Amino acid sequence: MSPDPDRFLSDLHHLRSFGAEGAGVMRRAFSGPDIAAREWLVARIGEIGLTPHVDPAGNVFGLTDGPSLLIGSHSDTQPEGGWLDGAYGVIAGLEIARTAAGSGGPSISLVSFQDEEGRFGALTGSDLWAGRTTLAEADRYTDTDGASFADARHGLSHLMQEDFVDPGRFTGFLEAHIEQGPVLDASAEGVGVVTSIVGLRQLQITVTGQQNHAGTTPMHMRRDAFQGAARVATLLNERFTNIVTPQSVWTIGHIRLHPNASSIVPGRAIFTIQWRDGETDRLDRMERIIEDVLTEVARETGLRIDAGRLRNDLAPVPMDEGIQAALRAAADRHAQGRWRTMPSGALHDASNVSHLMPVGMLFVPSIGGISHSFDEDTAEADLVLGLRVLADAAEALAPS
């Protein structure tokens, strides 16, 4: 299969025009530009001889008859989004399905999921398709302005069908996406074959000390909650080094002191520790180290330290081995020495779809690691390289 780079780039730029804002895009789920973009995609699907199916969540499918490999991503954006993000994977799916349909090639369907970026939920469209939430629940989701998912999805009712597509008709799912991180760009590599979507855990830590006058309280009599938080942060860095891989990450991104005044010894510090890794076992070991560090700092300082698991834990999602092998072979063919295997540190629709069928993902570089920003971009040569790798893998994987 030889996809057409010019036709592909032309469609990618056409999709960019829906909600274009400078170099970026504002195309939130079910906004005017999003609905127009989905209408446009439905028309393209018809043109290439596939059957459009817009399900009750607003997911747009282009279906072949009989079993097929599914390729796609999402075309909704953040309030201020980049022009590629999931759009890249949707148009890659369109071009490969078109190439296959036009050449009597393998059976390839395509999809553009809805509300991946979480105007209402988070990955709402693929969540609904995978049965991880119900339409009744999702209809109660509201955006930050109070608009409901139930009302918003009426905007596509003229195209919507009442049923969801049967996942049993697909033999697997391929998702191409920009990396949204700096790894490929920094190493001048063209594509990344994703090994897993990392799992995520998060603890909210409350350090309780003694609020005191910052002038009259001698150092040795203080129980300073910020000093406890700083000690935890530095000790974690030391203790993690023995067990993490270069793909493990941990972040203290949020902290709140009480009373947060320069002349008062902080009596309380509340902060989050978030950590991500591709392996459940390593997530467990990191959690035990965190617990040990908290216990040690509490004993050392006389502070009370409480930790509560936040509800948004995510288990790691390994990519299908057969799909990874096909992607690796295709990457070697088109970009020998210029690709790598890597985990996805961000969440994707493929995570939900993995509950329905084998899935795989391919990354192209994000220049400067920038995403969710008008400045997001990828070199044209890498966009085309990713398309070719994906097409080769699809040819190897799809039912004929």
Cβ neighbours, 10 Å, residue 366:
25
CA-CA distance, 101 to 236, in Å (whole number)?
A: 54
Q: Binding site annotation covers 13? A: no
Shorter beta-carbon distance to its own copies: residue 171 or 212: 212
Shorter beta-carbon distance to its own copies: residue 14 or 254: 254
Which tokens is 305 given? 């330290």
Coil, strand or helix: which one is 191?
Answer: strand
Shorter beta-carbon distance to its own copies: residue 109 or 227: 227
Torsion, Cα of 363, 366, 372, 377 (10° steps): -120
Q: What end-to-end distance do the CA atoms of the chain give, in Å?
A: 12
Shorter beta-carbon distance to its own copies: residue 69 or 265: 265
Query: For residue 360, what is the enclosing H or E element?
Result: strand 359-364
- Amino acid in the structure at residue 146: G
Pairing between β-strand 20-21 and β-strand 24-25 as defined by DSSP bridges? antiparallel
Q: Binding site annotation covers 151? A: no
Residues in Cβ contact with 156 at an 8 Å cutoff, skipping those fewer than 6 apart: 30, 35, 38, 54, 58
Which tokens is 368 given? 């400067």
- Amino acid in the structure at residue 116: E
Residues in Cβ contact with 316 at an 8 Å cutoff, skipping those fewer than 6 apart: 196, 197, 198, 199, 277, 278, 279, 280, 283
Shorter beta-carbon distance to its own copies: residue 310 or 379: 310
Shorter beta-carbon distance to its own copies: residue 37 or 342: 342
Residue 33 φ/ψ, nearest 5 degrees: -60, -35
254 in Cβ contact with 272 (< 8 Å): yes
- DSSP conformational letter for 354: T
User: Sign of torsion, CA 323 328 334 340?
Assistant: positive
- To its own copies, the closest distance from the beta carbon of 39 in angstroms equals 31
- To its own copies, the closest distance from the beta carbon of 143 in angstroms equals 18
Q: Binding site annotation covers 185? A: no
Please compute Rg for the chain using Cα positions: 24
CA-CA distance, 330 to 345, in Å (whole number)?
A: 23
- To its own copies, the closest distance from the beta carbon of 227 in angstroms equals 7
- To its own copies, the closest distance from the beta carbon of 366 in angstroms equals 8
- To its own copies, the closest distance from the beta carbon of 311 in angstroms equals 12
- To its own copies, the closest distance from the beta carbon of 249 in angstroms equals 6
- To its own copies, the closest distance from the beta carbon of 22 in angstroms equals 19
- To its own copies, the closest distance from the beta carbon of 298 in angstroms equals 17
Q: Binding site annotation covers 85? A: yes
Contacting positions for its own copies (CB under 8 A): 179-183, 186, 198, 200, 202, 212-221, 224, 226-227, 229-231, 233-234, 237, 244, 246-257, 260-266, 272, 274, 276, 310, 344-347, 369, 371-372
Q: Binding site annotation covers 213? A: no
- Token look-up 């390839």 returns 108
Torsion, Cα of 217, 223, 229, 230 (10° steps): 50
Coil, strand or helix: which one is 320?
Answer: coil
Shorter beta-carbon distance to its own copies: residue 203 or 391: 203
Q: Smallest Cα–Cα separation from 381: which of 5, 1, 4, 82?
A: 5
- To its own copies, the closest distance from the beta carbon of 97 in angstroms equals 28
Shorter beta-carbon distance to its own copies: residue 67 or 182: 182
Shorter beta-carbon distance to its own copies: residue 160 or 197: 197
Residues annotated within a binding site for Zn(2+): 74, 85, 117, 177, 372
